[in-house]
Amino acid sequence: MTAEKMIIEIKDWIREAADFIQTSLTTDFAVSQKSGRTDLVTSIDEETQTLLIKKIKEHYPADKILAEEKGYSTIDSLAGRVWIIDPIDGTMNFVMEQENFCIMIAVFEDGIGKLGFIYDVMKDELCWGGKGIGVFLGEQRLIQPKNLGLSAGLLGMNAYMFGEDIHCARKIGHASMGVRVSGCAGIEMIAMLKGNHIGYVSNLSPWDYAAGIVLLEEFHFSYSTIEGKALSFSGREYFLAATPEAYSEIKTNFLDK
């Protein structure tokens, strides 16, 4: 199996899933709560995930899958080839705004990120790439962003973390050029890869960060849990990613004291 063939397949699957989502926006769909009133899941999340999993199982039946909905949210290990899927990243935005949400797919092999895809559905903006491949926006190869410090750039932030100053989030935000809150990890990752933001601080699950970190690695961004540990790919984790300069400043000046 060549990477080129897999890339073509995944792009096709994402387009098919996006068409389904956009069509579904014109119909009534079920919305329910998971852990609370601000943690939503829709029938469209679940049906989109089912569509993507069906494609993977048809073409790669031996592979493992880690995904947000319907019993796929845990995995025994990252050994072998693992697909990590977020069918709709930014479900609250999807429900309330009908924009600012993404489809995200990552492919890992023995714990190493090989391919990552982040698709802003309503903007028709696909950011993709992988290990040794580079990072692309559509068919345009992106240039590695400048290694700016914290005070020189905008910082993506989780709203609750900023509001409650969790892990010094408010202080970190004030030290940047400004905080931006999109409510969608995929959109924040794209902003970093395009050089529009210098970092992102949030509370994420594996399907929220998997595709993004594959692409961030290609541009030599630093990332970890906010405590500086390796991501566990299990449950929610406080997440920090930034240019190497900004990451070092955040850790040294705010988190390691």
Strand order across the 81-89 sheet: 64-67, 81-89, 102-109, 112-120, 125-130, 134-137, 140-141
Hey, what CATH topology would domain 150-255 get?
D-Maltodextrin-Binding Protein; domain 2 (3.40.190)
Alpha helices in the chain (DSSP H): 3-24, 43-59, 91-96, 159-164, 169-175, 185-193, 206-218, 244-250
What is the structure's pLDDT at 68?
Answer: 87
Indicate whether 61 pLDDT > 60: yes
Could you tell me the maximum CA-CA distance found in the chain, to the nearest angstrom?
52
Encode pLDDT of 207-227 as tens digits: 999 999 999 999 999 999 999
| Chain region(s) in the chain for CATH 3.40.190.80 | 150-255
The arithmetic mean of pLDDT across residues 46-64, rounded, is 96
Cα R_g (the chain), whole angstroms: 17
Indicate whether 196 pLDDT > 60: yes
Alpha helices in 97-203 (DSSP H): 159-164, 169-175, 185-193
What is the structure's pLDDT at 32?
Answer: 75
| Chain region(s) in the chain for CATH 3.30.540.10 | 3-141
What is the structure's pLDDT at 71?
Answer: 86
Tokens of 33: 């709560």
Q: What average pLDDT is seen over the chain?
A: 94
Q: What is the DSSP letter of 252?
A: I
- Write down the CATH superfamily of domain 3-141: Fructose-1,6-Bisphosphatase, subunit A, domain 1 (3.30.540.10)
